[in-house]
Chain A
Amino acid sequence: MGLENVIAEALPEVLTTRLDSLINWARKSSLWPATFGLACCAIEMMNATSSRNDLARFGSEVFRASPRQADVMIVSGRVSRKMAPVLRRIYDQMPEPKWVISMGACATSGGVFDNYAIVQGVDKIVPVDVYIPGCPPRPEMLIHAVMMLQEKVMKESVRDRRDVPEAEAREAVVPGTLPITDGSTARQNTLPESRPYTIASRHERRRSS
């Protein structure tokens, strides 16, 4: 005696569903990635769209050079300290809904580059939805990640995805990275506490926080 029956009698060509399911289905079926190739992982990312692997089967092959037209950012490669504010800025310019795939060991954890120049994991800067291990991961693994992301998208609700005000997005920048603005912090003369980074100091910080 549900609504479906009533509608089915009145309009036989109408289907009913949850709004979330419909919208999520539309979203997951065309995830447009923003190109963010940073290192060798980018070669595998390009290969994933090639005829052999054909990411287009999953609706995710339209790589956009503009973040305004992109849904998912595939961070493929190591993120240097200087690239970090740029990456955050690109992420902020993407409209909601947006997702992030961290591709490869370097983007996920810094990989073998445990040094001053490389951000130890892109999740210090942007929220990451799917991590891919590997150095570099094969295109199949990227396709698998896209499929995992599609599963995740299907579980979301429209209410969860709203554009944050710009001011809030700017605040979200991790301390220690350059803010996205005019470089005014570079002119500040406040020297942060400086001591060599060691394993011990990392544990200290974890205990204190």
Chain B
Amino acid sequence: MSTDQPIENSEAAAPSPVVAALQNEHPEWVSDVIAAFGEITVVVPREHLIAACEFLKTSPDTQFNFLSDICGADRGVEEEPRFEVNYHLFSTTKHHRLRVKVVLNEEDTHVQSVTGLWKTANWHERETYDLFGVIFDGHPDLRRILLPDDWQGYALRKDFPLRGYEPYSLK
């Protein structure tokens, strides 16, 4: 690790202009900010995701016109909230990055789709649905993308058995 990027775990050091712009626009959009390893993560409440993303994409200060990745995460069966969805944003004009995080409870794994903002979210969201069972409301075609169509369960959840379920294991 290079020395010019010190490990910072508090938001006190050098508040990001992107986060400041987001907070100025609407304070409720940002429920937490994590700055670590030179990366900034903004935790956004689920109901504000679309509005916050639209602001991040269109505002002249941020201009996040490229969604580089969406990934799900399972924090563990006993964790609450259990799931999180991470959106990795990049601006091709201003060359900065931001990670937007949404946390979800196990009982209600619904989140609004961002396909209306970034078309590339289509397959990323299908993958997250396929492997974690996160339902993206408003997605135009939410089908499995990696696993077979008749698959049961969500393979990257922590409680999914490694060898799969009996009819599918082909032993």
Residues of A bordering B, CB below 8 Å: 81-82, 84, 114-117, 119-120, 124, 174-178, 183, 185-186, 191-198, 201-202, 205
Q: Is the CB of A115 within 8 A of B164?
A: yes
- By a CB distance below 8 angstroms, the chain A residues around B148 are 81-82, 178
In B130-153, the 8 Å CB interface with A consists of: 146-150, 152-153
Whether A120 pairs with B171 at a CB distance below 8 angstroms is yes
- Measured between beta carbons, the chain B residues less than 8 angstroms from A115 are 162-164
Chain B positions within 8 Å of A, measured between CB atoms, are: 146-150, 152-153, 155, 160-171
User: Is B150 in contact with A178, judged by CB distance below 8 angstroms?
Assistant: yes
B168 touches A81 (CB 8 A): yes
B149 touches A197 (CB 8 A): no
Q: How far is the CA of A114 from the CA of B161 in the complex (A)?
A: 11
- B166: contacting residue among A174, A185, A195, CB under 8 A: A195
If A116-B155, A120-B170 touch, does A185 touch B150 (CB 8 Å cutoff)?
yes
Known contacts A116-B155, A116-B164, A117-B155, A197 near B150 by CB under 8 Å: no
Taking the nearest CB of chain A, how far is it from the CB of B152, in angstroms? 6
What B residues does A192 contact at CB under 8 A? 152, 165-167
- Which of A81, A120, A191, A198 lies at the interface centre, i.e. has the most chain B CB atoms within 10 A of its CB? A81
* Contact A194 to B147, CB < 8 A, known contacts A175-B167, A177-B170: no
Expressed in whole angstroms, the minimum distance between the Cβ of B10 and any Cβ of chain A is 40
- Whether A176 and B170, one on each chain, are in contact in the complex, defined by CB atoms closer than 8 angstroms, is yes
- Contacts A117-B155, A120-B171, A196-B161 given; does A201 touch B150 at CB 8 Å: no
- Selected A-B contacts with CB under 8 Å, 21 pairs: A82-B148, A84-B170, A116-B161, A116-B162, A116-B169, A117-B147, A120-B169, A120-B171, A176-B168, A177-B170, A178-B150, A185-B150, A186-B149, A186-B150, A192-B167, A194-B166, A195-B165, A196-B161, A196-B166, A197-B165, A197-B169
Given contacts A117-B155, A202-B171, contact A193 B166 (CB under 8 A): yes
Cα distance A192–B164 in the bound complex, in angstroms: 13
CB distance from B109 to the nearest CB of A (A): 20
The 7 closest A-B pairs by CB, nearest first: A116-B164, A196-B161, A186-B149, A192-B167, A197-B163, A197-B169, A194-B165
Nearest A residue to B155 via CB reads A116
User: Which residue from A82, A193, A202 sits with its C-beta under 8 Å from B167?
Assistant: A193
Question: Could you tell me the distance between the alpha carbons of A194 and B167 in the complex, rounded to whole angstroms?
Answer: 7
User: Bound complex: CA of A183 vs CA of B148, how far in Å?
Assistant: 10
B161, closest chain A residue (CB): A196
Contacts of A183 in B (CB 8 A): 149
CB closest chain-A residue, reference B163: A197
| B167 proximity list for chain A (CB < 8 A) | 175-176, 192-194
A87 to B160, CA, bound (A): 26
- Alpha-carbon distance A196/B169, docked complex (angstroms): 9
User: Smallest CB-CB separation from B152: which chain A residue?
Assistant: A194
Considering the complex, give the chain B residue whose CB is closest to the CB of A115: B162
Question: Is the beta-carbon distance between B170 and A124 smaller than 8 angstroms?
Answer: yes
Asked if A197 and B166 make an inter-chain contact with CB atoms under 8 angstroms apart, the answer reads yes
Note all chain A residues with C-beta closer than 8 A to B150.
178, 185-186
- Residue of B148, B152, B160, B162 with most chain A CB atoms under a 10 A cut-off: B148
Interface centre among B162, B166, B167 (most CB of A within 10 A): B166
Name 15 extra pairs, CB < 8 A, besides A81-B170, A177-B170, A194-B166.
Answer: A82-B148, A115-B163, A116-B162, A116-B163, A116-B165, A116-B169, A117-B164, A120-B171, A174-B170, A176-B169, A192-B152, A193-B167, A196-B163, A196-B166, A205-B171
